[in-house]
Amino acid sequence: MSMTNRIGTYLKKGCRSIFFRVFIIIGIIGAMSFAALAGADKPNWVPIPPEEFALKDCPGMPGASAVYLYREIFYDMANLSAFVHKRIKILTPEGRKYADAEIHYIKDSLEIKNLFIRSFTPDGKEIPFKGEIFEKKVVGVNNMEMIAKTFTFPNVEVGTIIEYCYSVKTDLDNFSTAGLTILSSLGSSDISEDGISAPYEGGFDSEEMNASPVYSWILQDSLYTMKARFRFLPIAPSALKDMIGKSMRLIWIFQKLSGIQPFINAQKEIELEMTSIPPFEKEELMSPPSGERMAVVFFYFNDEFKTLDDFWTKEVEAWRKGLKKFMEKDQDKIQSMATGLTQNTTDPVEKLNKLYEWAQQIKNLSYIPDLSVDQWKEKKFKENKKVSDVLERKYGCRSDITRTFVALARAAKFDAQVARVTTRIDKSFRKNYPVFYGQFDSEIAVVMLNGKEMYLDPATPFCPFGWTEWSKTFTVGVREIKNGPDFFSILTSNTDISKSRIEVDVSIDDLGDLNGTAKVLLNGHDALDWKLRAITSDQAELKKDWEDYFRRGFPSGSKVTFKTIEGLKDNKPGLTVNFDIQVAGMGINAGSKTTLQVLSLGTTKMDLFSHPRRVFPIDFQFPQEILTDIKVVFPDKIQLSTPPKTNEINTDFAHFSIRTGIENEKTLRVQKEFKLTRHYFEPVLYSKLKTFVTQMETSEEEPVIISR
């Protein structure tokens, strides 16, 4: 296949099948071959002005440990090349950590070429780099080996300027979306935007290319940038038409910025020069970082479309045609199966539940870990073209299962349809981004039951009847049976509050040490999250994850040992995990009184509220409720007496209460209730949320004084 045809094929695939987090970052750069790259013999360094040697502090961010004096990123589609240049000045002793540099790439897919490195002493003397460049494995991505080239600048001190540049080449035959993810980090200190990979959905019902993401400038990095230059040389429209057989125009969309405009330079490159770019600093529990960075995103867009509405109308129409083709054939077979599954059942809820349970038993190929093309062939899997294929073979990807369930529900006389939705695990829907399958990346069922719409998720293993997995809640979707795009909001009912219960049952000895057991009972989204995690984790890994997760609710040095787990492989809403626990030094005896620090047991401290302000929204993923019941049993020789105590905190979005008392003169009983009725908080609500959490933690830090 010629290079021109390869690029055309890649663009067509990119318009429908690659995850959105890759879409919005970079596209066509993956079409680079072993072509000549920029800077073969020596780099064309941008001169360092005297004022940068004299710089003592970051002008836009006083006190910063280091600053980008200059960054440059250049992608050349016409000559199939990429180039990155970084120049950093160390401003404080803490900034010396930037002397350790890493460049990430995928083995056998990407290769770093023409790497040039130098530094300058504080008095301006150039130091050529003579150290070693090492390689190390960082992490595996989609069955591919990620490698980091690492090197360390010598003798770095406050005032040192460090600088390096490099080019990239790729092997198209071995290229992958994993390679795209790494290429997306060129010019950024982050190798991953969101670090999350969704299961394969399927349901791609259009081969037509109406828009394709090409590439984007990620303008922010982890340090303040004084000056940056971004360049992009796209393929000429006439050449692109030869590749894909359609007239396309290049459009670009601004993300999280305004008041700037790229220009066309003398080399016909699209160029943007910027100064004073603030750093991008991730925050805990923030919305997906890929949608929060300042960026300029480039797309090729069907020249026949005048507006984005034209794009959405065409894409949704193509998806609906594909649904109809998949679901409306062999109605007699569908009807026969639905009748057999629901015979002797008259209650509508019970009837729908039977169909749902059957759909969940279909072998779900989307959740087979690391299913390769070779394994697919070895197991003789075939692509399902219609519902009757799924009924016969009893396997399918996510969209196959959802569509089969909806077809059976219709045959059983339910008003049911398929909806394509945005999973918010790694993105938020943006209408101004012309990407259909990359944004609407999952399908669910919408069924009218007793006059109300019910959202169902039969293609998510273990998802209880009446639920959808949390990333498909509070999001946006398009319906199967409507005219036009019809974007609609998917809200959830009160049943989507994830309820958990923690039971701690311990005894205290004369040294004030606690020994006993703990039981964690999860329901709803929390339980489903762990069940899905178990699909791709081995038993030892899961055991460690559980211990680490639960240990966070106990003082440092506590011993938490996993014992058993129940409900891990069924679609009931609950999950129970049992632990042995040992906690030292929780009680202090003084005469006839014992002071206990036990009110915070089982509660994970929320470190995200240690900051005075918040830049990005806080997203807890879903509303939740946690009940904690602590019993501390004293030795038989001791009789206890202390008045009961209650503390309660209420806001319009949360509730917390704590009650203490004595039972049977031997047992201290602590009961806590925490309830969060919303999951998403804009930064303007941060202070209210922080005040609530501070009050809650203060009440848990109070000692319990018991008379003996």
Q: Are residues 134 and 254 in the same domain?
A: yes
User: In the prediction, which pLDDT does 336 show?
Assistant: 96
Query: Tell me: the pLDDT tens digits for 148-193?
Result: 899 999 999 999 999 999 988 766 565 555 444 444 445 555 544 4
Lowest mean pLDDT among 24-28, 136-140, 242-246, 646-650: 24-28
Q: Whose CA is closest to 396, among 364, 356, 355?
A: 364
- For residue 658, pLDDT over 80 is answered with yes
User: In the prediction, which pLDDT does 665 show?
Assistant: 81
Place 537 in a pLDDT band, splitting at 50, 70 and 90.
confident
Domain final residue, candidates 493, 509, 524: 493
User: In the prediction, which pLDDT does 708 show?
Assistant: 64
Query: Tell me: the pLDDT tens digits for 275-324?
Result: 999 999 998 899 888 889 999 999 999 999 999 999 999 999 999 999 99
- For residue 472, pLDDT over 80 is answered with yes
User: In the prediction, which pLDDT does 55 show?
Assistant: 96
In a domain, 196, yes or no: no
User: In the prediction, which pLDDT does 204 show?
Assistant: 83
User: In the prediction, which pLDDT does 41 show?
Assistant: 64
CB 466 within 8 Å of CB 456 = yes
Better pLDDT: 664 or 516: 516
Q: Would you state the structure tokens that stand for residue 294, as one six-digit string?
A: 């300042």
Domain final residue, candidates 457, 478, 493: 493
Q: Are residues 502 and 473 in the same domain?
A: no
The boundaries of the domain holding residue 327 are: 309-493
CA distance 619 to 616: 9
Angle at which helices 398-411 and 331-342 cross, to 10°:
80
In a domain, 290, yes or no: yes
- For residue 359, pLDDT over 50 is answered with yes
Q: Are residues 502 and 488 in the same domain?
A: no
Lowest mean pLDDT among 17-21, 327-331, 472-476, 609-613: 17-21
CA distance 146 to 586: 45
Mean pLDDT of 671-679: 93
Mean pLDDT of 680-697: 93
In a domain, 405, yes or no: yes
Query: Tell me: the pLDDT tens digits for 94-121?
Result: 999 999 999 887 777 777 889 999 999 9
Domain final residue, candidates 304, 328, 353: 304
Q: Are residues 287 and 344 in the same domain?
A: no
Place 246 in a pLDDT band, splitting at 50, 70 and 90.
confident
- For residue 669, pLDDT over 70 is answered with yes
Q: Are residues 436 and 508 in the same domain?
A: no
- For residue 16, pLDDT over 50 is answered with no
What is the pTM assigned to this prediction? 0.86
CA 167 to chain centre: 29
The percentage of the chain sitting over the pLDDT mark of 90, rounded to a whole number, equals: 56
CATH number, domain of 396, equals 3.10.620.30
Mean pLDDT of 382-387: 93
- For residue 506, pLDDT over 90 is answered with yes
- For residue 17, pLDDT over 50 is answered with no
Q: Whose CA is closest to 187, among 69, 73, 89?
A: 73
Interacting residues of 19 by C-beta distance below 8 A, sequence separation 6+? 177, 197, 198, 426, 438, 441
Residue type, 95: G
Q: Are residues 279 and 374 in the same domain?
A: no
Q: Are residues 501 and 489 in the same domain?
A: no
Q: Whose CA is closest to 664, among 645, 640, 632, 643?
A: 640
Q: Are residues 588 and 625 in the same domain?
A: yes
User: In the prediction, which pLDDT does 120 show?
Assistant: 97
User: In the prediction, which pLDDT does 7 show?
Assistant: 45
Q: Are residues 172 and 134 in the same domain?
A: yes
Q: What is the mean pLDDT of the chain?
A: 85
User: In the prediction, which pLDDT does 302 show?
Assistant: 93
CA distance 355 to 349: 10
In a domain, 102, yes or no: yes
User: In the prediction, which pLDDT does 265 show?
Assistant: 93
User: In the prediction, which pLDDT does 144 show?
Assistant: 60
Highest mean pLDDT among 190-204, 334-348, 563-577: 334-348
Query: Tell me: the pLDDT tens digits for 424-436?
Result: 988 889 999 999 9
Residue type, 639: Q
Place 495 in a pLDDT band, splitting at 50, 70 and 90.
low
User: In the prediction, which pLDDT does 195 show?
Assistant: 45
Query: Tell me: the pLDDT tens digits for 692-701?
Result: 999 998 888 8
In a domain, 200, yes or no: no
User: In the prediction, which pLDDT does 493 show?
Assistant: 56
Q: Are residues 489 and 501 in the same domain?
A: no
CATH number, domain of 528, equals 2.60.120.1130
CATH number, domain of 174, equals 2.60.40.3140
Q: Where are the alpha helices (DSSP H) in 343-500?
A: 348-360, 373-378, 387-393, 398-411
Q: Are residues 334 and 406 in the same domain?
A: yes
Mean pLDDT of 252-258: 91
Number of domains in the chain: 3
User: In the prediction, which pLDDT does 230 show?
Assistant: 95
In a domain, 549, yes or no: yes
Interacting residues of 118 by C-beta distance below 8 A, sequence separation 6+? 45, 126, 127, 128, 129, 163, 164
Place 79 in a pLDDT band, splitting at 50, 70 and 90.
low
Q: Are residues 94 and 14 in the same domain?
A: yes
In a domain, 204, yes or no: no
User: In the prediction, which pLDDT does 143 show?
Assistant: 53
For residue 11, report the phi and psi dihedrals to the nearest 5 degrees.
-60, -40
In a domain, 313, yes or no: yes
Q: Would you state the structure tokens that stand for residue 682, as one six-digit string?
A: 């804009």
